[in-house]
Amino acid sequence: MPDTSEDVVSVLTERIEERFQMPLADLRRAVEEAPQADAEATALVHWHGLLTDTQQALDTAEDALVEALGTQLCDALDGPVMELAHQVNSAVASRDGRAMVVNYLLDPNAPGKRGPGAWRGASPAVRRAPALPTSPPTLPSARNPTARGAAR
């Protein structure tokens, strides 16, 4: 049975290579030579690197946990083994979060993207308009009515 954790990285790697029509190693070299040439490629190479680093950390944590479980003599897990289990859980969460970022960057129809020009930022009109009304809040009146049920 294939290791599904490795499949996450390999599937995303294949999607990046398909998107840019070149092997990831060549894309990485192109980004290193000219990082400003294509912001999308630069972001994807950066996040893919973070993803692979996290996958390596996950593999190491899983190996340590399996080794510790193999030496465990009783049914109850002791503190060090539980700590290793928590490290694995944290590494899985990190890996999955980074995979989500790579997946988002690859999706041209993801929320917040408006096509190829989206990498250059919002239009000037959008940048000028406030996101929320910015009028100052209305201060309460100086008169303070007594609370309900309070003695008058």
pLDDT, tens digit, 9 for 90 and up, residues 35-60: 999 999 999 999 999 999 999 999 99
* Neighbouring residues of 40: CB distance < 8 A, sequence distance ≥ 6: 105, 119
Cα separation values, 58 from 72, 77, 80, 99, Å: 21, 20, 17, 13
What is the mean predicted confidence (pLDDT) over 97-102? 95
What is the average pLDDT across 53-72? Answer: 90
Q: Could you give the CA distance from residue 32 to residue 45 in angstroms, rounded to a whole number? A: 10
Residue 20, C-beta contacts closer than 8 angstroms, at least 6 positions apart = 27, 41
Among residues of the chain, what percentage have pLDDT more than 70?
A: 67
Q: Does the pLDDT at position 71 exceed 90? A: no
- Confidence band of 64 (pLDDT split at 50, 70, 90): very high
